Amino acid sequence: MKLWKKDNTTTSELIERFTVGNDRDFDLLLARFDVEGSIAHVTMLGEQGLMKAEDVNKAVRELQSIHEKIKSGDFSIAENMEDIHSQIEWMLTEKIGEAGKMIHTGRSRNDQVALDIKLYLRSSIVEIKEEVIKLFDLLIEKSNQHKNDLIPGYTHLQIAMPSSVGLWLAAYAESLVDDMEFLSAAFQVANKNPLGSGAGYGSSFPLNRKRTTELLHFKTLNYNSVYAQMSRGKTEKLTAYAISSVASTLGKLAMDCCLYVNQNFGFISFPDELTTGSSIMPHKKNPDVFELIRGKCNRIQSTPNELTLLINNLPSGYHREMQLTKEIIFPAIETLKSCLQMMQLMLKEISVNQDILKDKKYAYLFSVEKVNELVNAGLSFRDAYVKVGNMINEGSFQFDQEKELKHTHEGSIGNLCNDEIIREMRSVSATISI
């Protein structure tokens, strides 16, 4: 069934197979949103006198029944159906007859799918937000737990200055705060209703677009009917930038974990059941989960570029390429959610090796501490720097590692400011709410 099919017309099977592509598979993710949009649209049609009240009641009841089927997993798109919109309208018409054919009044598949995608993206951003907060809370918890466990800090992958596990993990917690800012921006764009824009040029029916906006809990609507269509692709792209930002944080954290679990670093470890082995080397405990998170998150970061290449330079109005945005952004969203969940699973079981900095190879890690000690004793910073540099060159550098490191400024190893970071996260995450 095709919503656009006319009597005495046929379409080549090859053309049909090519144009439908993978739409049925991805449309299953849109099924519940298509029904919710239809319920809002039908309700509005009844209130505007464009459908009889009894037909509205029958349609809404049956749409709610279809919604329950979708939630229970007892729903599929038949092979002879072009898309989710055709499937639902067909099911509705089979049950309630002619009234089912009226639900497309004042609506085009263009605004219908634009609505479905906005509802899907809005819901997905909320789901990602929840997973990000879980990871954020875990990072803060582990940061506080290990705030006094010192590890080397690196610049250029060279031993640099003392750091701590607490400082390291809190850095990624704060990175997620900025990622949440991206998610919030994408959410605000997705939280605008395109329904009622039709094929991009509105309708002569007296639709009440503000009413469907209210029924679907959008913050506002895309007012201009042409722009409502132009927001298709743009909304996906902005969401892609947001998930790419989260993926960047996850990928970098995964890389750190791959380094720090390596025997040459040996800062952290994980239970055997969370690692894999080698077919020929019995000593191996491979961090496959972190390596896959790193790889998957690198791929996610290509998503905005893929969408740019797909939709760039298209004129206004609908074009069939828009169908392909689904197969770019939908898998990326699902992959990111799984990576967030796996990162949580791993970090819950992290073990930190104690007294790492007592190893002699980390002696020069305290060179800046020695410079600062001399400055506090009255020497100028530049003279202190030269003096410590000479000590290192002569092999006479020594620093008492038993001394307490007194780092007190905001964001240092002695003052993590985790409470402030938590407040920032709570503030920005509160802007993502349906």
Phi first, then psi, for residue 176 (nearest 5°) are -65, -25
Query: Which pLDDT value is given to residue 4?
Result: 41
pLDDT in tens, the chain (434 residues): 454 455 555 556 676 666 656 667 788 999 999 999 999 999 999 999 999 999 999 999 999 999 999 999 999 988 888 888 889 999 999 999 999 999 999 999 999 999 999 999 999 999 999 999 999 999 999 999 999 999 999 999 999 999 999 999 999 999 999 999 999 999 999 999 999 999 999 999 999 999 999 999 999 999 999 999 999 999 999 999 999 999 999 999 999 999 999 999 999 999 988 877 666 777 778 899 999 999 999 999 999 999 999 999 899 988 888 889 999 999 999 999 999 999 999 999 999 999 899 898 898 999 998 999 899 999 999 999 999 999 999 988 888 776 778 899 999 999 999 999 999 999 999 999 99
The answer to whether residue 349 is domain-embedded is yes
The answer to whether residue 404 is domain-embedded is no
Q: Which two tokens stand for residue 51?
A: 């459908």
Question: Same structural domain for residues 327 and 376?
Answer: no
CATH number for the domain including 344? 1.20.200.10
Distances (CA, A) of 21 to 118, 323, 374: 21, 9, 71
Question: Same structural domain for residues 353 and 364?
Answer: no
Residue that terminates a domain, selected from 71, 105, 139: 105
Question: Same structural domain for residues 238 and 263?
Answer: yes
Question: Same structural domain for residues 189 and 328?
Answer: yes
Question: Same structural domain for residues 130 and 266?
Answer: yes
Question: Same structural domain for residues 268 and 126?
Answer: yes
Query: Which pLDDT value is given to residue 416?
Result: 96
Query: Which pLDDT value is given to residue 80?
Result: 84
Q: How far apart are CA 251 and CA 290, in angstroms?
A: 8
Question: Same structural domain for residues 132 and 260?
Answer: yes
> DSSP of 300-313, one letter per residue?
HTTHHHHHHHHHTT
404 DSSP 8-state letter:
P
Q: Which two tokens stand for residue 345?
A: 């699973």
The answer to whether residue 240 is domain-embedded is yes
The answer to whether residue 4 is domain-embedded is no
The answer to whether residue 314 is domain-embedded is yes
Range of the domain at 99: 13-105
CATH number for the domain including 55? 1.10.275.10
Query: Which pLDDT value is given to residue 90?
Result: 93
Question: Same structural domain for residues 301 and 251?
Answer: yes
The answer to whether residue 1 is domain-embedded is no
**Distance from chain centroid for Cα 50:** 40
Question: Same structural domain for residues 350 and 368?
Answer: no
Query: Which pLDDT value is given to residue 18?
Result: 66
The answer to whether residue 348 is domain-embedded is yes
Query: Which pLDDT value is given to residue 7?
Result: 54
Q: Which two tokens stand for residue 205?
A: 């029916």
Question: Same structural domain for residues 25 and 79?
Answer: yes
What's the domain count of the chain?
3
Query: Which pLDDT value is given to residue 16?
Result: 61
The answer to whether residue 215 is domain-embedded is no
